[in-house]
Amino acid sequence: MAKLLAMILAGGAGTRLEPLTRERAKPAVPFGGRYRIIDFVLSNFANSGIYRMKVLTQYKSDSLNKHLSRAWRMSAFLGHYVETVPAQMRTGMDWYKGSVDAIYQNLNLITDEEPDHIFVFGADHVYRMDCRQMLDFHTSRKAACTVAAIPVPIEEGKEFGIIDVGPDGRMKGFVEKPKNPPPMPGNPKYCLASMGNYLFSTDSLVKEVVRDAAAEASAHDFGKSIISQLYKHEPVYVYDFAQNVIAGQEEKERGYWRDVGNIDTYYQSNMDLVEVDPVFNLYNDRWPIYTQPNNFPPAKFVFADRENSRVGHCTDSLVSEGCIISGGHAHRSVLSPKVRINSFSEVQESILFENVTIGRRCRIRRAIIDKNVEIPPGMTIGYDLDEDRRRFHVTPGGVVVIPKGMKVA
């Protein structure tokens, strides 16, 4: 059996998710109530039977480290691990100059592990993927590198690496974040985007990373500096993510992949989950998403005010353990553990992080409320965005964000 190693890039600054990334790295941002964004890629590897994972961290890594050390303890006996690798300045006084430099500065890990193939995956996406199927594709083509790809609407193409591919699956062109993305042949509304997930044969990765380190003018970025050149002289193949089939998956989830690129896409990917019949099904226990187990008590719904018939209830919502919904109502919302919603309050289409308390008689709509925030009684949020802009952060899509620990008065 081929020896495999997964290197997960989790060191980006995540500025486009501000203020959710003010105190944590993007892969540590909570998602779907119970999870952190990084749980999706790690669950994909674990469910694919790939149990050696190195997570390369850098900016604001404390929250991420805590989560990984609590949630992702694998069997040492079987040689399985998820290890965090902090930026250590092994090659000089610089932090990682880009995603390729993150690998270069940790080449010793590759030398120590001696894998045949190395997955280099991002940590910022929500999807299910059987990485073994990508490996089979890669080895059957004898590829130096395989890039996973998915069609995206052409107007979003400037955010991605855009690929041109031949009928045999071999890459014919690649341009990182082009101003005018070239459309897919026969499909002018879409272009083929790199998912930022690469599988390299070890020799190719080491050779490219060492070459890049010597190129002073390089951006040290996988898309810009490596993939855009490598396909010209090595067999680089494009793995069609739509071909990836997952146990227990419904047809409509095939090809589901969300780049949690900014707060509006983050918000929308969470809202996808509260659909009555969501495309991405968290309840598929044949491909579970793993996360930290908690010792919180079950969620509780309290009939708080019998005289006024205030039944605490949630509809079309995800409600985590430790929540108490006491005479209030949440609709189409995602509630992390230990949320409190009190009497006569109405929460609509919102994401409440851990330990958020909504006082009595509040009206909240299209808001993300970060950890440890208490909303005082009688407050209205999300109905008058001009007013909200004066107090909070409001995204271009009109979502109100209240940062972690903010004292709201």
Could you write out the DSSP letters of every residue in 187-215? Answer: BTTEEEEEEEEEEEEHHHHHHHHHHHHH-
Which residues neighbour 120 within 8 Å (Cβ) at sequence distance 6 or greater? 7, 9, 103, 197, 198, 199, 200, 205, 222
Distance from C-alpha of 338 to C-alpha of 321, rounded to nearest angstrom = 7
Pairing of the two strands 324-326 and 125-127 = unpaired
353 touches ligand ADQ (CB under 6 A): no
Which residues neighbour 306 within 8 Å (Cβ) at sequence distance 6 or greater? none
Helix, strand, or coil (residue 378): coil
Binding letters toward ligand ADQ, positions 280-319, x by CB under 6 A: ----------------------------------------
Distance from C-alpha of 399 to C-alpha of 212, rounded to nearest angstrom = 40
Candidates 30, 115, 181, 196; binder of ligand ADQ (CB under 6 A) is 196
| Among the residue ranges 207-215, 217-225, 288-296, 380-388, the one whose residues contact ligand ADQ (CB under 6 A) | 217-225
Interactions with ligand ADQ, residue window 35-64 (CB under 6 A): 56, 58
212 touches ligand ADQ (CB under 6 A): no
| Among the residue ranges 72-80, 218-226, 247-255, 380-388, the one whose residues contact ligand ADQ (CB under 6 A) | 218-226
Candidates 4, 5, 6, 11; binder of ligand ADQ (CB under 6 A) is 11
Angle at 197 between CA 180 and CA 266, to 5 degrees: 70
Binding letters toward ligand ADQ, positions 97-126, x by CB under 6 A: -xx--x-------------------xxx--
Q: Is 194 annotated as a binding residue?
A: yes
Q: Is 234 annotated as a binding residue?
A: no
Closer by beta carbon to ligand ADQ, 161 or else 312: 161
259 touches ligand ADQ (CB under 6 A): yes
DSSP classification of residue 222: I
Distance from C-alpha of 316 to C-alpha of 305, rounded to nearest angstrom = 23
Q: Is 276 exposed, middle or buried (0-12, 13-18, 19+ CB in 10 A)?
A: exposed
Closer by beta carbon to ligand ADQ, 161 or else 322: 161
Interactions with ligand ADQ, residue window 219-258 (CB under 6 A): 221-223
Closer by beta carbon to ligand ADQ, 206 or else 219: 219
| Among the residue ranges 45-53, 69-77, 95-103, 364-372, the one whose residues contact ligand ADQ (CB under 6 A) | 95-103
| Residue 178 in tokens | 């082009």
User: Least Å distance between CB 161 and ligand ADQ?
Assistant: 2
Candidates 151, 161, 312, 359; binder of ligand ADQ (CB under 6 A) is 161
Element (H, E) at 402: strand 400-402
User: Least Å distance between CB 213 and ligand ADQ?
Assistant: 14
The residue among 385, 325, 331, 334 whose CA lies nearest residue 358 is 325
- Dihedrals phi, psi of 95, to nearest 5 degrees: -70, 180
Q: Is 176 annotated as a binding residue?
A: yes
| Among the residue ranges 132-140, 190-198, 312-320, 350-358, the one whose residues contact ligand ADQ (CB under 6 A) | 190-198
Q: Is 328 annotated as a binding residue?
A: no
Distance from C-alpha of 29 to C-alpha of 263, rounded to nearest angstrom = 11
| Residues 297/290, Cβ–Cβ less than 8 Å | no
Residues that bind ligand ADQ (CB under 6 A): 9-12, 56, 58, 96, 98-99, 102, 122-124, 160-161, 176, 193-196, 221-223, 259
Binding site for alpha-D-glucose 1-phosphate, by residue number, is 96, 161, 176-177, 194
Binding site, by residue number, is 96, 161, 176-177, 194
